[in-house]
Structure 1
Amino acid sequence: MTSTTEPAPAAREPSWWDRQGDLIMRRPFNEWTFTHMNWLMPTERVARGEFRSPLPVDPHPLDLTYRFDDADFSLADLHRRTFTTAFVVLHHGAIVHETYPGAFAGPRTRMQLFSISKSVTSLLIGIALNDGVIGSIKDRVTDYRPDFADTAYAENTLADLLDMSSGVGDLETWEVADSGIRQFEQAVMGGGDVAQVIRAARRRTAAGESFNYSTFDAQILGWVLEAATGKSIASYASERLWRHLGADRDAYYWLTRARPRTAIGAGSFNATARDMARLGQLMVDDGVANGRQVVPRDWVRRSRGSHEPQLAVGALGPSGYDHYGYANQWWTLGSECFHAFTALGVHGQYLYVDPTADVVIVKCSAWPTQDDESRDRETIAALRRVADHFAITR
């Protein structure tokens, strides 16, 4: 008897469209893509306004070495070993060292900063609280986004999200093809429903109990900000933050392909390395830029460390390296209020702030992988060494 059963269709090979995120992030292409995201995705400008405040330049030779894995390395070694594309050091608000090893990078190049965007979103939340458009960090997500009422985020407060303690979502991993972050990336770049990906996330632990690094948490904060202010995150960032820094250039967010387009407040901010150094100096100076209190002082202090035990350095668990703590969408490096802290982005983006030394370091990179613990440890060792050098010689 002859079977009439049709053979099962062959599995569809992933198309370029499905794999564009991987292609954008792959070396050596990522040195170009990380400096040209506005050529690849729709964008919205973060205007700098008419005010400009040039950074003083006071060059210092940095022929120092740092210690890592029982060996000494120079900064040239750091740039080679960790694929640096831009490196800017401020001391007392002046550029003391600046280099652009990246093939397409320079002082006016706007860099893809990935999750440093989360720290920018945190600053905007602090400003919105001070403006009174957001009532309190104890407000619930659903006070601003009622469309999340039937999701795992229904009971979460803004404080839960700011400290990555929502208890929602799996461990964020890029190595698993169907992980939540991979689905998020594909929706953003492939025209899918980004909000639906986040709404589908399941609760894993009770809110406020443990740290779990979450792009979803940060993205919701961006949407809360937009709902509270009635403005896009780019517009609000321009009006209440960027135009007060005296920035060299407009910044921008790239947007989702699907309409209505939305910025990725969790990862699509692009700006020059010098302008990001200005943002770091704002954090050194307790939220003051050019004589104006741009970010509330208490909000800056909240970003330097937390008294919550699950957010202490070494206590973050599997979604944070043991040399980090966490607070307010920033990675902390010590328990003291004036200790160094940093914003981080995948593929090696750093905005390192040491208030005690009055040092800010911006390092942009094009790592071949999203995360790399060894390269991260080496980078932090080098940045600490640079900051300590100026703390001693000031």
Structure 2
Amino acid sequence: MQSGFRWSRIGLLVLVIGACYVAWQWPLLVRLYKVVTLYDEDKIVNNFLHMEDAFPTKVLQPSSNPQLLTPALAELPAQFEFDGHMLDTQAFLADSRTTGLIVLKDAQILYEHYWQGMSDDSTHMSFSLAKSFLSALIGIAVEEGAIGSIEEPVTRYAPELKGSGYDGVRIKDVLQMSSGVGFNEDYGDFFSDINRFSRTVALGQPFNEFATTLQREFEPGTYNQYVSIDTQVLGMVLVNATGKPLTEYLQEKIWQPAGMASQAYYLTDFTGMELALGGLNVTLRDYARFGLLYLHNGQRDGLQIVPSHWIHDSVTADAPHLQPGDNPASKHKYGYGYQWWLPDGRDDEYQGQGIYGQYIVIDPDKHIVIVKTSANHRYNDQSLRWQDKHQALFRAISQYYSE
């Protein structure tokens, strides 16, 4: 009898300890589940719209002087040409699992629509659109003297990178995705470096430590290979150079003066470091306001927020390995600037891009900004040529509204 009672108490104690452990680890378990199911067809939309449910965050507050966007609504072109065939615009938007699309001509909204439960006050995961925001902050920090020059090595500001593949690499080479660091960015490969990093994020481990594990593959400044961790390194440089967290610096230097109208947030690790390479969550209109800032050469109402020469340099391929088209010194057919993509065959347009269908497109000579957010679970199916189709759509929209 006593033996049975004793075992009952032990069993109860084990249950209590187990319940306490699960409660203690619950945030980690939620985060792991979120990462594992992030791109599942039945969960991807909710995940992209509610990343704050599973990750620690830092909040950006709306500007006290928001940039006014004036509705002047019109229809999209009904069709666009791709590879000699006409594609139905609305069918493509549905097929690519669009969540939001907005088109500005200067500060006028020509088109705005939401799908799949997204609305004008929803924040949407940026993925690599965040890289273009960080580029702007680097330009501001250089202009204000917090960073001496982009010719300096990243290790001057992030000495913890000494001995890694980033040791001695210029800030400029990191900005241009030419750090020379070896990295597999294939989201469809479970063992790729980017998916290893995703597991680092899921486990709550420090983002910055991952950068110290990477080693050199190419001579810096000679080969264009997209390495998302390059942008995390830029975040490390910026935080150490300015003495401010990325969220605080972004709030002060862009969010407030550029007139962002809604709350936004960065995902962080448990040290409070922001996911610089892709952790912004922003409304569709505020993504467009950022595009508008670049369209207007970094100015708002006469106030120079991002240096105009920085914007020019950011969208200029100034070395052979950065040129668009078939390029033996690049892994991509798009060219690259300072965290901005330069499409092949472009006039003057340039883009921020994020995986699973996120775009900020700026077409200066036509005064057009296009922002598209998506939750496309078929993004990794290369046979569907999503990027090429999007490029054809964006050029058709830009041309349509300029006629």
Q: TM-score, normalised by structure 2?
A: 0.88
- Distance in structure 2 (CA, Å) of the matches to 1:250 and 1:17: 22
Q: Secondary structure at the match of 1:244?
A: coil
Letter of the structure 1 residue corresponding to residue 155 of structure 2: T
1:116 has 2:126 as partner:
no
**Paired residues, what number?**
373
Cross-structure match for 1:85 = 99
Q: Which has the higher helix share?
A: 2
- Distance in structure 1 (CA, Å) of the matches to 2:273 and 2:145: 24
Cross-structure match for 1:8 = none
- Distance in structure 2 (CA, Å) of the matches to 1:319 and 1:16: 38
Contact 1:343 1:350 in 2 (8 A): yes
Q: CA deviation at 1:304?
A: 1.8
Q: 2:304 aligns with which of 293, 296, 313?
A: 293
- Distance in structure 1 (CA, Å) of the matches to 2:218 and 2:173: 12
Deviations 1:314-367 (A, max 9, x none): 245697542x1111000012587x611000000000000000100000000011
Q: CA deviation at 1:165?
A: 0.4
Contact 2:325 2:344 in 1 (8 A): no
Contact 1:245 1:290 in 2 (8 A): no
Q: 2:366 aligns with which of 357, 362, 376?
A: 357
Letter of the structure 1 residue corresponding to residue 364 of structure 2: P
Cross-structure match for 1:223 = 236
Q: 2:152 aligns with which of 123, 136, 139?
A: 139
Q: 1:341 aligns with which of 350, 369, 374?
A: 350
Contact 2:295 2:364 in 1 (8 A): yes
Cross-structure match for 1:5 = none
1:251 has 2:286 as partner:
no
The 5-angstrom pairing of residues 180-329 of structure 1 reads 180-256=193-269, 259-315=270-326, 320-322=331-333, 324-329=334-339
Letter of the structure 2 residue corresponding to residue 285 of structure 1: H
The percent of aligned pairs where both chains have the same amino acid is 30
Structure 1 pair 238–372 and aligned structure 2 pair: CA distance change class (3 A): farther
Q: CA deviation at 1:251?
A: 1.6
- Distance in structure 1 (CA, Å) of the matches to 2:378 and 2:167: 34
Q: Secondary structure at the match of 2:352?
A: strand
Contact 1:333 1:339 in 2 (8 A): no
Q: Secondary structure at the match of 1:377?
A: helix
Q: CA deviation at 1:311?
A: 0.7
Cross-structure match for 1:10 = none
Cross-structure match for 2:186 = 173
Letter of the structure 2 residue corresponding to residue 210 of structure 1: Y
- Distance in structure 2 (CA, Å) of the matches to 1:74 and 1:93: 27
Contact 2:100 2:114 in 1 (8 A): yes
Higher Cα radius of gyration: 2
Structure 1 pair 385–63 and aligned structure 2 pair: CA distance change class (3 A): closer
Q: Secondary structure at the match of 2:38?
A: helix
- Distance in structure 1 (CA, Å) of the matches to 2:272 and 2:196: 17
The 5-angstrom pairing of residues 12-23 of structure 1 reads 20-23=34-37
**Please, which moves more after superposition, 302-311 or 112-121?**
302-311
Q: Secondary structure at the match of 1:128?
A: helix
Structure 1 pair 299–382 and aligned structure 2 pair: CA distance change class (3 A): same
Structure 2 segments unaligned to the other structure (5+ residues): 1-28
- Distance in structure 2 (CA, Å) of the matches to 1:169 and 1:302: 25
Contact 1:244 1:290 in 2 (8 A): no
- Distance in structure 2 (CA, Å) of the matches to 1:335 and 1:229: 38
Contact 2:368 2:398 in 1 (8 A): yes
- Distance in structure 2 (CA, Å) of the matches to 1:290 and 1:217: 33
- Distance in structure 1 (CA, Å) of the matches to 2:34 and 2:74: 41
- Distance in structure 2 (CA, Å) of the matches to 1:188 and 1:29: 19
Letter of the structure 2 residue corresponding to residue 147 of structure 1: E
Q: Secondary structure at the match of 2:221?
A: coil
- Distance in structure 1 (CA, Å) of the matches to 2:328 and 2:358: 22
**Please, which moves more after superposition, 59-68 or 349-358?**
59-68
Q: TM-score, normalised by structure 1?
A: 0.90
- Distance in structure 2 (CA, Å) of the matches to 1:45 and 1:369: 31
- Distance in structure 2 (CA, Å) of the matches to 1:231 and 1:327: 25
Q: Secondary structure at the match of 2:133?
A: helix
Contact 2:291 2:361 in 1 (8 A): yes
Structure 1 pair 263–372 and aligned structure 2 pair: CA distance change class (3 A): farther
Cross-structure match for 1:161 = 174
Contact 1:315 1:325 in 2 (8 A): no
- Distance in structure 1 (CA, Å) of the matches to 2:41 and 2:33: 14
- Distance in structure 2 (CA, Å) of the matches to 1:39 and 1:218: 24
